[in-house]
């Protein structure tokens, strides 16, 4: 729902069915943009007299005002003449690939839609609040000059398109939850046995498992806070009286507190994970979440892990990020066919995911221990920042593409 920020959605339970406007940093790694040429000749209304085309969006009249164009940069001023909100797409009449959209254009509002079009047949589509669809007249563009800055056309992803990928991802999560349950049980046992070294090892193992499940945190709801919450403002994992779960236990295991102080929290964690298993069995993942989280898991790592703020003493930041990358790959996995169909560059993404993994795992010693973030050199830190940030840039378009739209 539009009032919930994406950041909040990373951590709290919001099953959000409404369309979320993609925001945030984008995807243009090593991409080359050229300046657009001046607008080309166009037949149609141009009230503003600036080369833009005035177009009407309504439920009985969609796209009128545009009758012909030559290829190149086109700017439409779209005016909603209907009495309700309208979503407007400029799309290929042949493939349904969308070149530009105006979401939620209010009654009597107008807004600008720009696209750089090559040869093809195009049409406006207007979709009202109750989803009646009006398609405008087709406009053909022919004999346009070749250019490198054409707007990419993308066939919208519908709720239906995301059904199977969401099922697939959900099944993976379901299969991971017993692994998590086993991990936290081990943790509780080693805490019981009084072996701090073993407890620390099982803490990292169990926490890492949880950190791979990022695209489902929204669906986990309150369980996520109970299991992997972080301290409230102005408090630490040690001092926040309400904090339970991994970070609370971490603050004990990596301090000089008695190991036994962690026992009640470990028992609580075992029970919270068991609750999660039960509730998740009947939870439906929001199809919007998988694409959104495919981007945001790593966005979150860059923001909350790379600055060390989530670390409560274990120094296992790189283990966490390693798990987050794995979690990202698991979220991308079911979306791959859909992304490939839409011209998304999976090869480059895979490359940078692999680069990220290799780099992060280079901070794991032969004995399985992880170098703390604070111990790496400035040059290593630059490599980490560069590699993860580039990967996030490449992931961002997934959220944009998988934003659920009405297919026409």
Partner 1 sequence: MTGGLPRRSFLSGLVGAGVAGPLAAMAAAPIAAEAATRASEAQNAAGGASAADPAARIPFEGINQQGILPPPQRAAAFVSFDVTAATRGELAELLQTITTRARFLTTGGAPQTTGISAPPADSGVLGPEVAPDNLAVTVAVGASLFDARFGLAALKPSQLRTMEDFENDALRREVCDGDLLLQITAQSTDTVLHAVRDIARATRGSMQIRWRRDGFVSAPRPSGTPRNLMGFKDGTSNPDITDAALMQKLVWASDGEPAWAAGGSYQVVRVIRMLVEFWDRVNIHEQENMIGRRRDSGAPLTAVAEFDDPHYDLDPTGESVPLNAHIRLANSRSQADLDTRILRRAYNYDGGVDPNGNLDMGLVFVAFNRDLDNQFVAIQKRLANEPLVDYISPFGGGYFFALPGVQGARDWLGQGLLSA
Of the candidates 313, 298, 317, the one whose C-alpha atom is nearest the C-alpha of residue 380 is 317
CA distance 341 to 345: 10
Tell the smallest beta-carbon distance from residue 189 to partner 1 (Å): 43
Binding of residue 23 to partner 1 (CB under 8 A): yes
Q: Applying CB under 8 A, what is the total number of residues that bind partner 1? A: 51
Tell the burial category of 130 from Cβ atoms under 10 Å away from its Cβ (0-12, 13-18, 19+): exposed
Binding of residue 400 to partner 1 (CB under 8 A): yes
Tell me the window of 31-39, 59-67, 179-187, 213-221 that interacts with partner 1 (CB under 8 A).
31-39
Tell me the window of 94-102, 133-141, 250-258, 321-329 that interacts with partner 1 (CB under 8 A).
94-102
Q: With contact defined as beta carbons under 8 Å apart, do 51 and 255 qualify? A: no
Q: Please report, as residue ranges, which positions from 137 to 196 form the binding site for partner 1 (by CB under 8 A).
A: 149, 151-154, 156
Binding of residue 13 to partner 1 (CB under 8 A): no
Binding of residue 114 to partner 1 (CB under 8 A): yes
**Shorter beta-carbon distance to partner 1: residue 197 or 379:** 379
Tell the burial category of 104 from Cβ atoms under 10 Å away from its Cβ (0-12, 13-18, 19+): middle
> Distance between alpha carbon 408 and the CA centroid of its chain, in Å?
24
**Shorter beta-carbon distance to partner 1: residue 153 or 231:** 153
Binding of residue 358 to partner 1 (CB under 8 A): no
Q: With contact defined as beta carbons under 8 Å apart, do 142 and 117 qualify? A: no
Tell me the window of 122-130, 206-214, 311-319, 376-384 that interacts with partner 1 (CB under 8 A).
376-384
**Shorter beta-carbon distance to partner 1: residue 248 or 405:** 405
Q: Which of 28, 43, 137, 354 binds partner 1 (CB under 8 A)?
A: 28
Binding of residue 55 to partner 1 (CB under 8 A): no
Q: Which of 20, 22, 59, 141 binds partner 1 (CB under 8 A)?
A: 22
**Shorter beta-carbon distance to partner 1: residue 242 or 382:** 382
Q: With contact defined as beta carbons under 8 Å apart, do 53 and 39 qualify? A: no
Work out the number of other CB atoms within 10 angstroms of the CB of residue 49: 6
Binding of residue 354 to partner 1 (CB under 8 A): no
**Shorter beta-carbon distance to partner 1: residue 283 or 391:** 391
Tell the smallest beta-carbon distance from residue 252 to partner 1 (Å): 34
Residue 11: which residues within 8 A CB-CB, separation 6 or more? 217, 224, 225
CB under 8 A, 24+ apart: contacts of 325-328: 325/298, 325/301, 325/353, 325/356, 325/357, 325/360, 325/391, 326/212, 326/357, 327/211, 327/212, 327/213, 327/214, 327/215, 327/297, 328/214, 328/294, 328/297, 328/298, 328/353, 328/395
Contacts with partner 1 by CB under 8 A lie at 22-36, 73, 98-101, 112, 114-116, 149, 151-154, 156, 342-344, 352, 378-379, 382-383, 385-387, 389-391, 393, 396-397, 400-401, 403, 405
């Amino acid at each position: 729902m539009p009032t919930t920020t994406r950041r909040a959605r990373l951590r709290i339970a919001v099953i959000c069915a409404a369309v979320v406007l993609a925001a945030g940093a984008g995807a243009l790694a090593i991409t080359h943009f050229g300046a657009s040429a001046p607008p080309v000749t166009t037949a149609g209304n141009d009230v503003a007299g600036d080369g833009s085309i005035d177009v009407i969006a309504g439920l009985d009249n969609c796209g009128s005002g545009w009758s012909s164009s030559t290829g190149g940069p086109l700017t439409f001023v779209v005016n909603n003449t209907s009495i309700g909100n309208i979503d407007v797409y400029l799309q290929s009449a042949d493939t349904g690939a969308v070149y530009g959209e105006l979401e939620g254009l209010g009654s009597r509002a107008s807004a600008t839609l720009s696209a750089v079009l090559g040869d093809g047949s195009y049409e406006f589509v207007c979709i009202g609040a109750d989803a009646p669809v009006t398609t405008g007249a087709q406009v053909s563009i022919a004999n346009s000059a070749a250019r490198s800055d054409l707007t990419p056309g993308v066939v919208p992803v519908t709720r239906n398109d995301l059904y199977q990928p969401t099922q697939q991802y959900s099944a993976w999560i379901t299969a991971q939850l017993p692994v998590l349950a086993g991990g936290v049980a081990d943790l509780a046992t080693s805490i019981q046995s009084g072996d701090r070294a073993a407890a620390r090892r099982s803490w990292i193992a169990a926490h890492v498992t949880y950190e791979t499940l990022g695209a489902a945190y929204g669906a986990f709801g309150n369980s996520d806070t109970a299991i992997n919450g972080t301290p409230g403002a102005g408090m630490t994992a040690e001092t926040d009286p309400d904090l339970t779960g991994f970070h609370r236990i971490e603050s004990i295991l990596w301090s000089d507190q008695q190991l036994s102080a962690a026992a009640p929290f470990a028992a609580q964690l075992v029970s919270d994970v068991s609750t999660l298993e039960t509730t998740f069995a009947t939870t439906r993942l929001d199809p919007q979440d998988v694409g959104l989280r495919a981007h945001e898991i790593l966005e979150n790592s860059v923001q909350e892990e790379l600055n060390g703020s989530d670390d409560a003493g274990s120094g296992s930041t790189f283990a966490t990020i390693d798990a987050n990358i794995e979690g990202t790959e698991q979220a991308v996995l079911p979306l791959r066919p859909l992304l490939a169909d839409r011209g998304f560059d999976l090869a480059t993404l895979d490359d940078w995911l692999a680069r990220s993994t290799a780099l992060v795992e280079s901070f794991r010693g032969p004995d399985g221990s992880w170098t703390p973030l604070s111990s790496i050199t400035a040059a290593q830190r630059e490599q980490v920042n560069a590699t993860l940030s580039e990967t996030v840039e490449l992931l961002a378009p997934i959220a944009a593409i998988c934003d659920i739209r009405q297919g026409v």
